[in-house]
Amino acid sequence: MLFSTRVATIFIAVAFIGWAIMHFMIGDFIAGRAPAWPQDVPGKIIWAYASGLVLIVAGVLIIGDPTRTIKSDATIVRVGVTCTGLMILGWAGARNLFVVLSTLDYGGVLTNLGKSITIGSGALLVAYAVSKEPPKYIYTLACVCTGIFFTASGIQHFLFIDFVKTLVPRWIPGDVFWSYVAGVGLIAAGVALITGILRKQAALVASWMVFAWFVILHVPRGFGETASYNEWIAIFEALAVASLLTKVRRGCLCATP
């Protein structure tokens, strides 16, 4: 196992808080890669700040985790984090789905859709992290959404190899080879997560794969000459997805180590 489910939960909370800070810095909703705010519609800053506060509250609730001893507080955490997941699914996921269907863009827009449904459903998963017997449909939803994202991303590795290979660090030889290997790995993990066949094993391997990208790809790009808000969004995305897969690997949502 990559790390305990409690550590995974805290990492997801860190991602929430990281995105929230960026909401204030950028002045827009960025969790789940939501489409840009509609032009000529007022309220962009208010929505960015309000949604940022929601993310911060959710992150603090997750890290504090008072629900181990107080049942009423468990409800507070569950409701707060569930609202966060629904917010991401609604504002980012639904809108990205509309853009994909209206443009048939199977590039960056499809990637954004995959990230939004993965992060949104993952938040719903975390909302029940303190439950010993969480609803099965929440677990399945997170697995299927993540599986769809991985499968689509894996196929994109083959369709857009000229771009994908540029993401491989220069010090690693065989950029095309590793891009294809990653594509195969994503497709295999995605199919396993969707079908349930070897789901836990696939989640374990995929969590290591994504966490490796977090270490050797996203963090260096976030601090290197490619540093940008976009790279920092990706840093928190990789950390959140790797952590989410760790919880899937356990086959349960309880936050205990």
Dihedral over alpha carbons 119, 121, 127, 133 (to 10 degrees) = -140
d(CA 118, CA 178): 24
Write the single-letter amino acid at 67: T
d(CA 127, CA 4): 17
Q: What is the DSSP string of 127-161?
A: HTTT-SS--HHHHHHHHHHHHHHHHHHHHHHHHTH
* Count of residues in the chain: 257
d(CA 238, CA 221): 13
d(CA 255, CA 72): 17
147, 191 in Cβ contact below 8 A? yes
Would you write out the chain's pLDDT as a tens digit for each of its 257 residues?
566 777 888 899 999 999 999 999 999 999 999 998 988 889 999 999 999 999 999 999 888 764 444 444 677 888 889 999 999 999 999 999 999 999 998 999 999 999 999 999 999 988 876 555 567 888 899 999 999 999 999 999 999 999 999 999 989 999 999 999 999 999 999 999 999 999 989 999 999 999 999 999 999 999 988 889 999 999 999 999 999 998 777 654 443 33
Query: What residues does each domain of the chain span?
Result: 5-250
Cα separations in angstroms, 247 against 10, 176, 206: 12, 31, 12
pTM for this one?
Answer: 0.90
